[in-house]
Amino acid sequence: MTTTHAPAPTPAAPADVRRHIRRMRVAAVGRVDPSSVYCVLLAIVMAVVLFGRPLGVVVWPADAAGLSVPVLVGAGLVLLAFVGVLRRLGPVVVSRADATWLLPAPVPRRTLLTPALLLTALSATVVGGLVGLAVTGRAAERPATSNVVVAGIAAGATVGLLLALLAVHAQTRPRSGRAIDLTTGAVAAALVAVAVGERLAGGYAPPRDLLPTASTMLVAAGVAFPLALAAVASVWWRLGSWPTHRIAEASAATGSYADAVYSIEPSFLSEQSSRRYWRSRTGLRTSRLLRDRRVPPLVAQDLLQVRRRPGRLPWLVGTALAPAVVADGPVWLLIGVVLVGALAAASATSEATHADASNPAALRLLGLTFRQVYAQRLVVPAGIAALWGALALGTVQATDTLSGPWWALGLVAGPGAAVAALYRAKVSASSIGHIFIDTPLGGFPSGLLLWLVNGVDVVAVLALPMVIALVTSRAPEQLSWSSVAVQAALSVAGCLVLLLRRSTARTVGV
Q: What is the mean pLDDT of the chain?
A: 79
Per-residue pLDDT, averaged over 206-224, amounts to 75
pLDDT band at 105; cut points 50, 70, 90: confident
Query: 349 near 382, Cβ under 8 Å?
Result: no
pLDDT at 453 over 70: yes
pLDDT per position as a tens digit, 134-174: 888 877 777 777 788 888 888 889 999 999 999 888 888 87
Residues 428, 265 contacting (CB under 8 angstroms): yes
Largest CA distance in the chain: 110
Task: Tell whether the model's pLDDT for residue 17 goes beyond 60.
Answer: yes
Residue 427: how many CB atoms within 10 A of its CB? 17
Of 225-234, 269-278, 424-433, the range with the highest mean pLDDT is 225-234
- Residue 18 pLDDT: 65
* Predicted pLDDT of residue 491: 92
Cα(226)–Cα(243) distance, rounded to whole angstroms? 28
Q: What is the 3-state secondary structure (H, E, C) of 16-72?
A: HHHHHHHHHHHHHHCCCCHHHHHHHHHHHHHHHHHHHHHHHHHHCCCCCCCCCHHHH
Q: How confident is the model at residue 455 (pLDDT cuts 50, 70, 90)?
A: confident
Q: Which residues make beta-bridge pairs with 403?
A: 478
Give the type of residue at 273: S
Asked whether the beta carbons of 104 and 247 are under 8 A apart, the reply is: no
Helix axes 146-171, 109-139, angle to 10 degrees: 140
What pLDDT, on a 0 to 100 scale, did the predictor assign at position 389?
92
**Percent of all residues in the chain with a pLDDT value above 90, rounded to a whole number:** 12
The predicted pLDDT at position 65 comes to 66
Residue 429 confidence (pLDDT) above 60: no
Please write the tens of the pLDDT for every residue from 344-373: 899 888 877 777 766 777 777 777 788 888
pLDDT of 497 strictly over 90: no
User: In which element (H, E) is residue 445 found?
Assistant: strand 442-445
Please provide the distance, in angstroms rounded to a whole number, between the alpha carbons at the two ends of the chain: 76
d(CA 167, CA 120): 10
> Per-residue pLDDT for 506 more than 70?
no
Which of 107-121, 168-182, 436-450, 472-486 is least confident? 436-450
- Decide which of 62 and 45 is more confident: 45
Rounded CA gap, 463 and 409, in Å?
A: 10
Which amino acid belongs to residue 178? R
Report phi then psi at 427, rounded to 5: -130, 165
Residue 263 CA: distances (Å) to CA of 266, 419, 435: 9, 28, 14
More confident residue, 84 or 273: 84
Q: Give the H or E element holding residue 439.
A: strand 436-439
Model confidence band, residue 284 (pLDDT cutoffs 50, 70, 90): low
Lowest model confidence (mean pLDDT) among 99-103, 287-291, 293-297: 287-291
